[in-house]
Structure 1
Amino acid sequence: MNDRYTTLRHDGATTVMDGAAHRVLRNTYMLLSLCLGFAAVTAGTAAAMGLPHPGILITLVGYFGLMFLVTKNRDSGRGVVFLFALTGFMGYTLGPIISTYLKMPNGTQVVMTALGGTAAIFLALSAYALTTKRDLSFMGGFLMVGVLVAFLAGIAAIFLNITALSLAVSAVFVLLMSGMILYETNNIVRGGETNYVLATLSLFVSIFNLFTSLLHLLGFSSKE
């Protein structure tokens, strides 16, 4: 590896990533690992202490409020602080959910399967995005529209208590979040994303939603 380029090879395909993109990717993965660890700690603490879920309204306000602060301060150290606040808060909201699944007869298996599935999907898609010669930027618009529609459908499913719609939304989110991981990672490699704070935010949210969606689907299937 020289100062300007990093070459990644996989099954005969070659992708050349310049030094700036390599630094963004390295910083993103480093920050992402710290955020995932922090979220795991807050989730485990909330589950162990039996803390209640804050509710859908507080969750939405906290999520979008902190996301706004991260985006606004993306070029300063405050952006990293708000990012940890966001990931910690999301971890806290996840704790009571995990605790509920763990109380099921095969709850531990469900949680571990969802966790393993999330890790496997992330690693596989990241490897592809890092090595493919294809430009995946065309996916951006479709994914944004899809996430918005699925999010609104998910909110409707919660307030209307429609199980079938909720399961459908979770299945769609698995596909959309997988696409987001591909898109964001490929975007970093090709120099389209130059801010590692925003890149980390996008990947964390994708991983979080992928895990919760798999957890929902696996939890429901285990009841059948």
Structure 2
Amino acid sequence: MDNRTVYTSASRPSVLETNKVLRNTYMLLAMTLLFSAVCAGITMAVGISPMASLVMTIGAFITLFIVNKKADSSSGIFWIFAFTGLLGGSLGYMLSFYAAIPGGPALIAQALGGTALIFFALSAYVLTTKKDFSFMGGFLFVGMMVVLVAAIANIFFSVPAVHLAINAAIVFLMSGFILFDTSRIIHGGETNYIRATVGLYLNIYNLFVSLLQLLGAFGSDD
């Protein structure tokens, strides 16, 4: 059984501790999202190349391992900003592409708005109802594995319909992860606010990217 979801009354964090983790998580999440947006703006302004974008993405996920290792120390704050800065900066090329097409800025704004709406609505639902969504962990893991295999396969086959299906699946999976990760914080499954921030940040990042690609694909039909 997954030890993240099993707690005794003695080991369960107090309401005060849980609220502190939740508060610190949302505060750090807001700062990292703002920092990512600034980095994306900078890379858009300098005209980042596709190769540089790929290098930044790879660098971000290498840094992610360091973040998880340093999450219990004060240096974890520096590393999470390094991680989110690299990942945010890597968006510069994609955002520049969409900004340059007719109606592109509106598509970006719609993706941002949709991401914010989904995140706040789902988070508010969990925070209000206090429901435990830990049962979704297995389903979400399997779903991500299926999406990953499909994405790798589609690199070779390049089927547009499959690409759209993958992005739609990611939107649903990230929505599920928002419920799952927020629930874990509330119910004491995650007591480290740096790791909690990383989880929610990745949910939001992937949700935004997939929404933008879906909107771009359907918008191009106009």
Query: What TM-score does the superposition give when structure 1 sets the normalisation length?
Result: 0.88
Structure 1 or 2: more helix by fraction: 2
Aligned partners of 2:98, 2:110: CA distance in 1, in Å? 12
- Report the CA distance shift for 1:153/1:223 in structure 2 as closer, same or farther (over 3 A): same
Q: Deviations over 1:74-131 (max 9, x none)?
A: 1012222111111011111111101100111110110000000000000000000111
Contact 1:43–1:91 at 8 Å: present in 2 too? yes
Q: Deviations over 1:8-60 (max 9, x none)?
A: xxxxxxxxx70010000000000000000000000011112111133686355
Q: Report what 2:114 is aligned to.
A: 117
Aligned partners of 2:218, 2:161: CA distance in 1, in Å? 12
Root-mean-square deviation over aligned CA pairs: 1.6
Task: Give matches, 1:77-156, under 5 Å.
Answer: 77-156=74-153
Aligned partners of 2:47, 2:61: CA distance in 1, in Å? 25
Contact 2:77–2:194 at 8 Å: present in 1 too? yes
Aligned partners of 1:55, 1:218: CA distance in 2, in Å? 25
Q: Report what 1:44 is aligned to.
A: 41
Aligned partners of 1:57, 1:47: CA distance in 2, in Å? 14
Q: Deviations over 1:173-208 (max 9, x none)?
A: 000000111111111111111000000000000000
What's the % identity of the aligned pairs?
Answer: 49
Contact 1:54–1:93 at 8 Å: present in 2 too? no
Query: What TM-score does the superposition give when structure 2 sets the normalisation length?
Result: 0.89
SS of structure 2 residue aligned to 1:131: helix
How much does 1:161 deviate?
2.3
The AA in structure 2 aligned to 1:98 is L
